[in-house]
Structure 1
Amino acid sequence: MEAKAIQLIQDTAVLANAKALDTFTPSIALPATVTVVSLEKFQQTRSRFRGALETSSLKDFSEYVQAQADGSTSGFVDSDDMTCTVFFNLGDQDNPGHGDFRAKLTLKKTAAFVALERAAGSKHSQKELSDFIEDWAPNLQALTQDGTEIELRRAAGAIRSITIEQARKSEHVVGDMSASRSAMEQIEAKSADGLPAELLFSVIPYEGLQARTIQLRVAVLTGSDQPVLRLRWIGEAQLREDLAQEFKQVVALEVGESTDLTIGNFTLA
Structure 2
Amino acid sequence: MSQQLDSSAIQQVKDLVLSGYHLDDVQGLACPTAILPENTVVASLEKFSLERFRFRGAMDTTSIDDFVRYSAGYAKPEEKARCFIDAENMRASSIFNIGTLDNPGHADNVSTIQLKKTAPFRALLAINGDRLNQKQIAEWLEDWSDFLTAFDANGETMSIAQAAQAVRRVNIKQVSESAHEDEDFSGKKSLMESVEASSKDVMPVAFEFKCVPYEGLTERRFSLRNSLLKSGEPMFVLRVVQLEAQEEAIANEFRDLLIEKFDGKPVETFIGNFKA
* TM-score bracket relative to the smaller structure: 0.7 to 0.9
Query: Does 2:216 match 1:208?
Result: yes
Calculate percent identity across the aligned residue pairs.
34
Instruction: Report deviation, 1:30.
Output: 9.2
Q: Deviations over 1:69-102 (max 9, x none)?
A: 1224111000111011001111111111111111
Q: Deviations over 1:183-231 (max 9, x none)?
A: xxxxx6724212100010011111111111101100112222x211111
Q: Which amino acid aligns with 1:234?
A: V
| Matched pairs, number | 241
- 8 Å CA contact 1:72, 1:90 repeated in 2: no
**Mapped partners of 1:54, 1:201: distance in 2:** 31
Q: Which moved more, 1:1-10 or 1:158-167?
A: 1-10
**Mapped partners of 1:46, 1:240: distance in 2:** 43
- 2:152 — aligned with what? 144
Of residues 116, 120, 130, the one that matches 1:122 is: 130
Instruction: Report deviation, 1:8.
Output: 2.3
- 8 Å CA contact 1:109, 1:205 repeated in 2: yes
Q: Deviations over 1:130-163 (max 9, x none)?
A: 1111111111110112211112111110000111
- 2:237 — aligned with what? 230
- 8 Å CA contact 2:36, 2:43 repeated in 1: no
Query: Does 2:73 match 1:73?
Result: no
After TM superposition, the structure 1 = structure 2 runs for residues 91-102 of structure 1, keeping only pairs within 5 Å, are: 91-102=99-110
**Mapped partners of 1:155, 1:58: distance in 2:** 37
Of residues 193, 203, 206, the one that matches 1:198 is: 206
Instruction: Report deviation, 1:122.
Output: 1.3
- 1:135 — aligned with what? 143
Q: Please identify runs of 4+ aligned residues in structure 1 that moved more than 3 A.
A: 29-32
Instruction: Report deviation, 1:16.
Output: 2.4
Q: Which amino acid aligns with 1:256?
A: D
- 8 Å CA contact 2:18, 2:40 repeated in 1: no
Question: Which SS does the other structure have where 2:214 is aligned?
Answer: coil
Q: Which amino acid aligns with 2:256?
A: Q
- 1:242 — aligned with what? 249
- 8 Å CA contact 1:14, 1:30 repeated in 2: no
Q: Which amino acid aligns with 1:2?
A: D
Q: Which amino acid aligns with 1:57?
A: S
- 1:158 — aligned with what? 166
**Mapped partners of 1:44, 1:31: distance in 2:** 26
Query: Does 2:226 match 1:218?
Result: yes
**Mapped partners of 2:38, 2:250: distance in 1:** 53
Question: Which SS does the other structure have where 1:157 is aligned?
Answer: helix
Instruction: Report deviation, 1:254.
Output: 1.1
Q: Deviations over 1:20-73 (max 9, x none)?
A: 6xxxxxxxx997712322211111111001111111111111111121112241
Q: Which amino acid aligns with 2:6?
A: E
Unmatched runs of 5 consecutive residues or more in structure 2: 26-34, 179-190
Question: Which SS does the other structure have where 1:256 is aligned?
Answer: coil
TM-score if structure 2 supplies the norm length?
0.81
Question: Which SS does the other structure have where 1:200 is aligned?
Answer: strand
Q: Which has the larger helix fraction?
A: 2
Instruction: Report deviation, 1:109.
Output: 1.1
